[in-house]
Amino acid sequence: MTAIVTAEGLRKSFARRDPASPPVLDGLDLELEEGAVLALLGPNGAGKTTTVRILTTLLRPDAGRATVAGHDVVRDASRVRELISLTGQQVAVDDKLSGAENLTMMGHLAHLPRRAVRDRVDALLTAFDLADAAGRRVATWSGGMRRRLDLAAGLLTRPRVMFLDEPTTGLDPRSRQALWDVVRGVVADGTSVFLTTQYLEEADRLARRVALVDGGRVVAEGTPAQLKREVGEAGVELVLASPADAALVAPALAVPTPEGARVRVPTDGSVAHVRAVLSAVEATGVVPEHWEVRAPTLDDVFLALTGHAGQERAARPAGVAA
Amino acid sequence: MRYLLRDVTTMSVRGLRLVTRDLDAMITAVVLPVIILLLFVLVFGGAVDIGTGYITYVTPGVILLAAGFGAANTALAVERDMSSGMVERLRSMPVAAWTVLTGHVVASLVKNLASTAIVFGVSILMGFRPEATPWEWLAAVGVILLFVAWITWLAALVGVLVRSPDAAGGFTFGVMFLPYVSSAFVPVETLPTWLRGFAEHQPVTPVIETVRALLSGSAGPGGEAALAVAWCLGLGLVSMVAAGLAFRARR
């Protein structure tokens, strides 16, 4: 397979605006195979949006190189723009226009042949299940419908690569499901998709490969199954009264001592293993406040791979969506 | 560049649709100027004695004041595009993204043309009797539109630079004062000396005097007209270039 998107050693810092801020990208490498879906998975502030902005020609990297279909995103920016579409974190459609008006406008701006615009707009409205609402102002639409329109606006030209920056953040589960179906359809039509997300489940459902980002670099890459295997399919999670208790319990379970009062032990979920874990806890004499068996979450994968929880990093450059 | 005209057209259609469907903008364009006209003529008009009918004196000023109010809508609309992801999307497409500004300016010009027509209409109903020839009318409207173009490009610049809708709204405040401290509503001779210096040498005064002269049919505003056009063209070009550069620089 050939790579349609590549990034090598991308660096970006907003230190000019805020000297105290750490670099947003610190040598990021990645590759998206043609026709595949790559999910960039990470917490807020990890550098996901900055990566997308560089790959879509909106931002110049301080160092490193990135290409789309062989074209350099800095030197060949205008060529790259003809091959991609970007659906950002915010829904970029005009509320005061109808769905059809929005798409028609985007069709003209995408320089489709004038006579082709109408057919393409109608086809997309139908494909995205928006035909019934097409004549109504978008202000009256639901969040899920607006997001679908936003995606459709990026598909007027049949891009080679579609960039989706946290496309389902803020959507209810049903709209999220509908959006995933739409993305699968886009991929089935041959478009490669570059996706960022905070949700392991989303990466799991959509992506063939997942790149885990933290602190501006890719800390792990693989199929969703490979990544999850790193932390075990599920874990016994113990909530203890204090970090001191956790420091007593963790060694007995042969897991690293956590920063907080929460200890997690990977498990295959079998009765025998869970019982063995609980017995080991009991033997320390510490009584947990609460315990449960949980499937791995993004936080667990993060904890396992980076040693810290995947929460929002404090230092975020002012005015820049990280 | 091959598609520049098409991009500008598409953006202008968008700008016009956004304006005509924005209740705030429409009230500012249609209702507010009429209220201001009524206020000046009926409330202040009795007290101001400047020889001719006050309505004849004040009508051009009301139109310019309305243009200032309307410009705030433009600043808001541009700010919204900058922060809503719309500009991001356009920049990732093979279009000249700055044409989005042109769209708002064209919309503003059309909107102000409508406001101007409405104010003139109401003013004539209330007794304003311009004695201009069709050419003088055309010239007067032309000067008004030049002024609107300058104010709107300035508003677009503000919209690009500010980082919140509130800051964009604050723009009205600034441009509102220019017509007040000019010959728009009272003769500059009635102002205190220190203020008169400013009033006589700021762009609104020559624009007002030119429009007044053209409408009253008193020929040969010559120097004043040249000054008005020079002010509006000069400041308009500076504002336009500055807006374009700021748009490119802001990421």
What is the residue-level pLDDT of chain B in tens, covering all 251 positions? Answer: 678 999 999 999 999 999 999 998 899 888 999 999 998 888 887 777 666 678 888 899 999 888 888 888 899 999 999 999 899 999 999 888 899 999 999 999 999 999 999 999 999 998 888 888 899 999 999 999 999 999 999 999 999 999 888 888 777 677 777 887 788 888 888 888 888 888 888 888 889 989 988 988 775 657 888 899 999 999 999 999 999 999 988 87
Q: Is residue A21 part of a domain?
A: yes
Residue (of A233, A274, A231, A224) closest to A253 by Cα position? A274
Going from N- to C-terminal start, the domains of chain B cover 4-249
Reported ipTM: the value is 0.87
What is residue A259's predicted lDDT score, i.e. its pLDDT?
82
Residue (of B71, B54, B150, B60) closest to B108 by Cα position? B71
Q: Is residue A12 part of a domain?
A: yes
Q: Which of A82, A92, A97 sits opposite B17 (nearest CB)?
A: A97
Q: In the numeric block, which tokens belong to residue B129? A: 């009797």
In terms of CA atoms, which chain A residue is nearest residue B83? Answer: A90
A74 touches B at CB < 8 Å: no
What total number of domains does chain A contain?
2
Q: Is residue A307 part of a domain?
A: no
Domain CATH code at residue A189: 3.40.50.300
Three-state SS for A266?
Answer: strand
In this structure, are A175 and A115 located in the same domain? yes
In this structure, are A224 and A258 located in the same domain? no
A97 touches B at CB < 8 Å: yes
- Distance of residue B131 Cα from the nearest chain A Cα, in angstroms: 42
Report yes or no: A100 and A134 within 8 Å, Cβ to Cβ.
Answer: yes
What is residue A308's predicted lDDT score, i.e. its pLDDT?
62
Q: In the numeric block, which tokens belong to residue A192? A: 């490669």
Q: Provide the strand spans (E) within chain A.
A: 3-12, 25-33, 37-41, 63-68, 71-72, 84-87, 161-165, 192-197, 209-214, 217-222, 234-239, 262-267, 290-294
What is residue A318's predicted lDDT score, i.e. its pLDDT?
37
Domain end call among A212, A228, A244: A228
Cα atoms in the 13 Å half-sphere on the side-chain side of A241:
6
Residue (of A93, A102, A155) closest to A127 by Cα position? A155
**Choosing among B7, B18, B89, B162, which should be mutated to test the A contact, i.e. which has the most A CBs within 10 A?**
B89
Q: What separation in angstroms does the CA of A16 have from each of A21, A25, A59, A75?
A: 9, 14, 15, 23
Burial class (CB in 10 A: 0-12, 13-18, 19+), B28: buried
Q: Is residue A17 part of a domain?
A: yes
In this structure, are A8 and A114 located in the same domain? yes
Q: What separation in angstroms does the CA of A42 have from each of A30, A275, A296, A299?
A: 14, 33, 15, 9
In this structure, are A41 and A105 located in the same domain? yes
Residue A41 to residue A37: CA distance in whole angstroms: 12
Backbone angles phi, psi at B245, to 5 degrees: -65, -45
Cα atoms in the 13 Å half-sphere on the side-chain side of A165:
24
Residue A192 to residue A244: CA distance in whole angstroms: 49
What is residue A296's predicted lDDT score, i.e. its pLDDT?
72
pLDDT, one tens digit for every residue, chain A (322 residues): 689 999 999 999 987 766 777 889 999 999 999 999 999 998 888 899 999 999 999 999 999 999 999 999 999 999 999 999 999 888 999 999 999 999 999 999 999 999 999 999 999 999 889 999 999 999 999 988 999 999 999 989 889 999 999 998 888 888 888 889 989 999 999 999 999 998 888 888 899 899 999 889 998 898 887 887 776 667 888 999 999 999 989 988 888 888 888 888 888 878 898 999 999 999 998 999 999 888 776 666 777 776 665 544 433 333 333 3
A162 touches B at CB < 8 Å: no
Q: Which residues of B touch A101 (CB under 8 A)?
A: 17
Q: Is residue A320 part of a domain?
A: no
Give the distance from CA A132 to its chain's centroid: 31
What is residue B52's predicted lDDT score, i.e. its pLDDT?
66
Give the distance from CA A167 to its chain's centroid: 8
What is residue B142's predicted lDDT score, i.e. its pLDDT?
94
Contact check, Cβ <8 Å, A84/B92: yes
In this structure, are A129 and A268 located in the same domain? no
Q: In the numeric block, which tokens belong to residue B3? A: 């598609």
- Distance of residue B164 Cα from the nearest chain A Cα, in angstroms: 11
In terms of CA atoms, which chain A residue is nearest residue B13? Answer: A105
**Choosing among A52, A101, A108, which should be mutated to test the B contact, i.e. which has the most B CBs within 10 A?**
A108
Q: What share of chain A is helix, strand, coil (3-state, %, to 5)?
A: 40, 25, 40
Give the distance from CA A238 to its chain's centroid: 28
Contact check, Cβ <8 Å, A96/B17: yes
Three-state SS for A36?
Answer: coil
Q: Which residues of A touch B94 (CB under 8 A)?
A: 78, 81-82, 110-111
A203 touches B at CB < 8 Å: no
Q: Is residue A308 part of a domain?
A: no
What is residue A113's predicted lDDT score, i.e. its pLDDT?
93
Contact check, Cβ <8 Å, B21/A109: no
In this structure, are A248 and A204 located in the same domain? no
pLDDT tens sequence across B194-245: 888 888 888 888 899 899 889 887 756 578 888 999 999 999 999 999 999 9
Domain of residue A52 covers 3-228
Q: What separation in angstroms does the CA of A172 have from each of A64, A135, A144, A169, B96?
A: 38, 24, 8, 9, 35
Q: Which residues of B touch A54 (CB under 8 A)?
A: none
List B58's β-bridge partners, or say none.
none
What is residue A279's predicted lDDT score, i.e. its pLDDT?
92
Q: In the numeric block, which tokens belong to residue B78? A: 């541009």
In this structure, are A220 and A237 located in the same domain? no
Report yes or no: B187 and B50 within 8 Å, Cβ to Cβ.
Answer: yes
Domain end call among A198, A228, A258: A228
Pairing of strands A161-165, A262-267: unpaired
Cα end-to-end span (Å), chain A: 31
Q: Which of B18, B22, B89 sits opposite A86 (nearest CB)?
A: B89
In this structure, are A214 and A243 located in the same domain? no
Residue (of A210, A167, A272, A258) closest to A31 by Cα position? A210
Q: Is residue A313 part of a domain?
A: no
Q: Which residues of B touch A90 (CB under 8 A)?
A: 84-85
In this structure, are A83 and A169 located in the same domain? yes
Q: Which residues of A touch B6 (CB under 8 A)?
A: 108, 111
Q: Is residue A253 part of a domain?
A: yes
Report yes or no: B77 and B29 within 8 Å, Cβ to Cβ.
Answer: no
Residues 6+ apart with CB under 8 A from B171: B71, B72, B75, B155, B158, B162
Three-state SS for A175?
Answer: helix
In this structure, are A175 and A258 located in the same domain? no
In this structure, are A81 and A155 located in the same domain? yes
In this structure, are A148 and A268 located in the same domain? no
Q: Which residues of A touch B251 (CB under 8 A)?
A: 58-59
The DSSP call for residue A187 is H
Q: Which of B7, B18, B92 sits opposite A94 (nearest CB)?
A: B18
Contact check, Cβ <8 Å, A86/B92: yes
Q: What separation in angstroms does the CA of B167 have from each of A205, B15, B73, B164, B182?
A: 43, 21, 12, 5, 25
List A63's β-bridge partners, or say none.
A11
Q: Taking every pair of C-alpha atoms in chain B, what is the biggest distance, in angstroms?
A: 60
Domain end call among A228, A244, A264: A228
